[in-house]
Amino acid sequence: MRKYLVNSTYCIYLLDIGEFYSNEAIFTIKEVAEEIGHERGIELTVPLTQTKKTSLQIKSHLLSNTDILLLQTAKAMDFILVTDDQKIIIEANRNGVHALDTPHFIHRLLVENKWAEERAFNALNKLRSLYNRGYIIDKVIKDITNWR
């Protein structure tokens, strides 16, 4: 089973639109869970995975320790990193870590039969009013429409 490692952006976006979702294949790390607890005052229900250290070729001054831990853990455990922070995605690209943003991950949830199409469209439409790149929402909605 394919496994995912989610960053705080995924958690905050889905909490804010009232569509938070996790399952047995979705993990995060303690540092992210603590951050969400601090930001939103809730205990995150996502299973935690141990962080792993591995070598990365990164511009470390641009990232925080938690960002680096997410990248290292995703690489070491062969998880797909789910983040909307493009600066992390760029470093994922340079280090062979697979990465998705939240709208594309919603598309994956649909493909993997975890979400119904109606839920995916509703979530994407709600996310539009919060998301950091509006055109990605339109793109994913178009992709889903073409995919079905």
Partner 1 sequence: MSESIVVNITLSKEAVTYLDNEAKKTYLSRATVAKQLLLQHIDELKVINARRLGYSIRKISEMYGIDYAKIIGILHTTQVDAGDKEADAYVEGTMKKLSEKG
Summarize as ranges the residues that interact with partner 1 (CB under 8 A).
2, 8-9, 12-13, 35, 39-40, 59, 62-64, 66-67, 80, 84-90, 92-93, 98-101, 104, 107-108, 111, 129-136
DSSP designation for 96: T
Q: Tell the smallest beta-carbon distance from residue 87 to partner 1 (Å).
A: 4
Q: Tell the smallest beta-carbon distance from residue 72 to partner 1 (Å).
A: 14
Q: Tell the smallest beta-carbon distance from residue 147 to partner 1 (Å).
A: 9
- Name the phi and psi angles at 81, rounded to 5: -80, 130
Longest dimension (CA), the chain: 43
Task: Annotate 10-71 with DSSP letters as a single string.
Answer: HHHHHHHTT-----TTEEB-HHHHHHHHHHHSS---SPB-----------GGGS-HHHHHHH
Select 111 or 116, whichever has its Cβ closest to partner 1: 111
Q: State both tokens at 65.
A: 């320790």
Select 104 or 119, whichever has its Cβ closest to partner 1: 104
Select 44 or 63, whichever has its Cβ closest to partner 1: 63
Q: Tell the smallest beta-carbon distance from residue 125 to partner 1 (Å).
A: 15
Select 52 or 128, whichever has its Cβ closest to partner 1: 128
CA geometry: angle 122, 113, 45, nearest 5 deg: 75
Q: Tell the smallest beta-carbon distance from residue 74 to partner 1 (Å).
A: 11
CA 103 – CA 134 distance, rounded (Å): 10
